[in-house]
Amino acid sequence: MATIPLTKRGAELLKAELHRLKTVERPWVINAISEARAQGDLSENAEYEAAKDKQGFIEGRILEVESKLAVGQVIDPSTLSAGGRIVFGATVDLEEEASGDAVTYQIVGEDEADIKFGRISVGSPIARALIGKEAGDVAVVNAPGGAKNYEIIKVRYT
């Protein structure tokens, strides 16, 4: 399996999720299954079926998070020396040429992407258009509404 990039923050979030799944969610669902079993006939017990489904989801997510942490490559943006180029973990100030709107994005891993907080996945169209560029360059992003040009104002590694 190929390595997947994670920011330091992203790795910590995955570790916290794994801890919560193992120490809170898993014991809760085991207890719910036990209580449902105590009610008798399992063939017509909706609570038992719901708890078993929940258990399957939790166990699957535990495996997924453990796998991502095992193959994850943690990248601390503050230690990067990319010479001003946009790389994974960089924070970029952009200005859309058509509207003049300013936006700031940090390029992060798939699991930590959240556009509301300015974090975009490294696999997103805008991140792919930005990677390798420097301040002063123009990135052309092919969006569903047509191509958009973004001027790169500043690149930070924080």
First to last CA, the chain: 29
For residue 67, pLDDT over 90 is answered with: yes
Supply the CATH number for residue 61's domain. 1.10.287.180
Is the domain of 114 the same as that of 93? Answer: yes
Supply the CATH number for residue 91's domain. 3.10.50.30
Is the domain of 11 the same as that of 68? Answer: yes
Counted domains in the chain:
2
Q: Note the pTM of the prediction, 2 decimals.
A: 0.80
Is the domain of 99 the same as that of 144? Answer: yes
CA pair distance 126, 131, nearest whole angstrom: 9
Is the domain of 82 the same as that of 36? Answer: no
CA pair distance 156, 107, nearest whole angstrom: 11
Domain span including residue 118: 77-156
Of 55, 75, 95, which residue sits at a domain end?
75
Is the domain of 56 the same as that of 85? Answer: no
Give the pLDDT confidence of 91-102 residue by residue, as tens digits.
999 999 888 899
| Per-residue model confidence (pLDDT) at position 144 | 80
Provide CB contacts within 8 A for 134, sequence distance 6+.
84, 85, 86, 152, 155
For residue 134, pLDDT over 80 is answered with: yes
